[in-house]
Chains A and B, each alone.
Chain A
Amino acid sequence: MPKTAVQALGINRWFGEGPARTHAVKDANFEANFGEMVYVVGPSGSGKTTMLSMISGILRPDSGTVRIEATDIWSLSRDALAEFRLHKIGFVFQDYHLFPRLTTAENVAIPLILQNRDWDAALTEAKANLEIVGLGGRAQLAPIKLSGGETAARSDCPCDREPTRHSDSR
């Protein structure tokens, strides 16, 4: 019996005011089990990013519930939700949003540093993860010196071992 990792029930989200008010996500339900790889597919403007944002804890739904590993994430306090995201959710941003003034390894290590890991230990783990995606030799370079493919690979780099790490908005 597969265990449920993510469950969203009846989530809704509106944007805008008055005549411009738009119902971006309407009564959406979503469920993903551990071990599954799920793709969300739809035309541009259909609400994919909005739904994923509500599921991943960065956009509060107007109604509905989201449970991740049985935790109702939108019942958590602001800080508790941030802590939850830090340990349970992974993001690959559409524009990557890498820090150009940090090295590639330091960029990869940021989630670990936010978890209060020791700086050196976080960098060691980040470099090990970069080795996994074939960027071990690029660890000390600034992200701007990576190719487009390398940048995407860095963004996919597993910084922790949580199963929901790679909720990819692309």
Chain B
Amino acid sequence: MSWPSDYVTSVMSGILRIAYKLLINDRAKFAALLVGITFAVFLMVEMTSLFAGILSRSSSTVINIGASIWVMDPAVQTVANSIPLPDSVLDEVRSIPGVKYAVPLYSGGALLKLRDGTYQAANVVGLDDTSLFGRPEVIAGNIEDIFADNAFIAIRDAEFYKLKNPKIGTEFELNDHRGVIVGIGRVSSSALFGVPTLYTTYSRALQYIPNSRFTISYLLVEPKSRADVAAIKARVAAAGYLALTREEFVSKISDFYMYETGVGTNMMLMTLISFIVGLSISGQTFYTFILENIDKFGALKAIGAKGRDLVSMILFQAVFVALTGYGIGVGLCAALIWAARTRLPDYAAMITFPNLGMAIAMVVIIAGISSYVGVRKVLMIEPFDIFRG
């Protein structure tokens, strides 16, 4: 028994086996159908994966810091564009019943002057001096060294090389202050905007980077229990600020990029175009396939095949092509992302289950429309037309 065709046919009913053989033995048509579905799936999954990757990166700070609740100004749209909060908010939040602890976070941009005299933009995260809540995993050096003079921890991600691959002890200037790399860290998600990230203490961040009157970018809050979250959010709202859980903040950032920038619209447009191209190629080819075999279907009808037999044959062919093309398309997309990451480690594409679900839903629609056209044609053919030749 040769794999896979003999195995596949051995588990089918006779009528589906005929349908299968009719389909795969017509290699040119089968290949054209597969190419149509495969490229439609490939483009749809690639587009949505890129978008998912971008959305994930856009929330990287929220994911990396890992706080349960984020308190911010209600006008904040993304984590990168914080609106400073007055220190009094910290005291107010700490006084809310149900708050286990609350710490400030600084997050902002800075311009570094590297040892070779070049300038490099960087994102600086200032962690609460007392708790270092949200600290990265340190892979070289010691986290306690962050309390040393001028200390910064550089994050080894895809942008790390832009700091000229610093080592422990590497110096730089930040706003005429001396900075020293005391450790190399790692976080779970790289940032979206292509700049390296430095971690330091909250107080040093305020000391080194020019600030407005208010200085806290976000308050990171840990509730005593999940049941306290609603009450905390209500109290924060009453004070004129916004408290979001981690998931809500990620969702808010995603919504901003999806609906308030052109990124989401363009990605959706490309996905829709991929769907239309796939539907056009596959629908056209499948219809041609049915037309070329219409006399055979008529002959089957005359012999005694029932309408449901013919419908099951056509549906089986459409579904078989759709699922095969889907598998190849997803495989191609995964291979492309893998290949891209060998050259571009920070390639922002992420195949997610919702992406795969959306692609298979679109493929099912393509198969459904293609087979509907074929089914209509086959059910309308009169055996008498075949009989008289």
List A residues at the B interface (Cβ < 8 Å). 49-50, 52-53, 56, 58-59, 78-79, 82-87, 89, 91, 93-95, 97, 99, 101-102, 106, 110-111, 113-114, 116-119, 122, 169
Contact status of A91 and B303, CB under 8 A, knowing A58-B384, A102-B25, A169-B387? yes
B233 contacts chain A at the CB level, 8 A cutoff:
no
Determine if B17 and A119 form an interchain contact, defined as CB atoms under 8 angstroms apart.
Answer: yes
Nearest CB on A from B23, distance (A): 8
Complex-state Cα separation, A44 to B14, whole angstroms:
39
Complex-state Cα separation, A86 to B293, whole angstroms:
20
4 shortest interchain CB distances as A-B pairs: A86-B304, A94-B389, A113-B14, A101-B25
Nearest CB on A from B199, distance (A): 65
List B residues at the A interface (Cβ < 8 Å). 9, 13-15, 17-18, 21-22, 25-26, 293, 295-296, 298-307, 309, 382-384, 386-389
B13 closest partner in A (C-beta) = A116
Report chain A residues within 8 Å CB of B388.
49-50, 53, 94, 169
State which of A59, A84, A106, A116 has its C-beta within 8 Å of the C-beta of B21. Answer: A106
Determine if B384 and A53 form an interchain contact, defined as CB atoms under 8 angstroms apart.
Answer: yes
Report chain B residues within 8 Å CB of A87.
304
Besides A50-B384, A82-B305, A119-B17, 5 more A-B contacts (Cβ < 8 Å) are A59-B382, A86-B303, A95-B295, A99-B22, A119-B9
Contact status of A91 and B26, CB under 8 A, knowing A78-B307, A113-B18? no
Give the A-B contact count at a CB cut-off of 8 A: 97
Determine if B18 and A49 form an interchain contact, defined as CB atoms under 8 angstroms apart.
Answer: no
B384 closest partner in A (C-beta) = A59
Determine if A122 and B387 form an interchain contact, defined as CB atoms under 8 angstroms apart.
Answer: no
Report chain A residues within 8 Å CB of B25.
101-102
B383 closest partner in A (C-beta) = A58
Determine if B304 and A83 form an interchain contact, defined as CB atoms under 8 angstroms apart.
Answer: yes
State which of B299, B301, B306, B384 has its C-beta within 8 Å of the C-beta of A83. Answer: B306
Complex-state Cα separation, A106 to B25, whole angstroms:
13
Determine if A114 and B300 form an interchain contact, defined as CB atoms under 8 angstroms apart.
Answer: yes
Nearest CB on B from A140, distance (A): 13
Determine if B298 and A97 form an interchain contact, defined as CB atoms under 8 angstroms apart.
Answer: yes
B23 closest partner in A (C-beta) = A101
Determine if A111 and B303 form an interchain contact, defined as CB atoms under 8 angstroms apart.
Answer: yes
Report chain B residues within 8 Å CB of A118.
14
Report chain B residues within 8 Å CB of A117.
14
Determine if A93 and B386 form an interchain contact, defined as CB atoms under 8 angstroms apart.
Answer: yes
Determine if B389 and A85 form an interchain contact, defined as CB atoms under 8 angstroms apart.
Answer: no
Determine if B14 and A82 form an interchain contact, defined as CB atoms under 8 angstroms apart.
Answer: no
A89 closest partner in B (C-beta) = B304
Among A49, A87, A99, the one with the most B-chain Cβ atoms within 10 Å of its Cβ is: A99
Contact status of A101 and B14, CB under 8 A, knowing A94-B388, A114-B303? no
Contact status of A58 and B14, CB under 8 A, knowing A53-B384, A93-B387, A97-B295? no
Determine if A102 and B299 form an interchain contact, defined as CB atoms under 8 angstroms apart.
Answer: no
Determine if B296 and A122 form an interchain contact, defined as CB atoms under 8 angstroms apart.
Answer: no
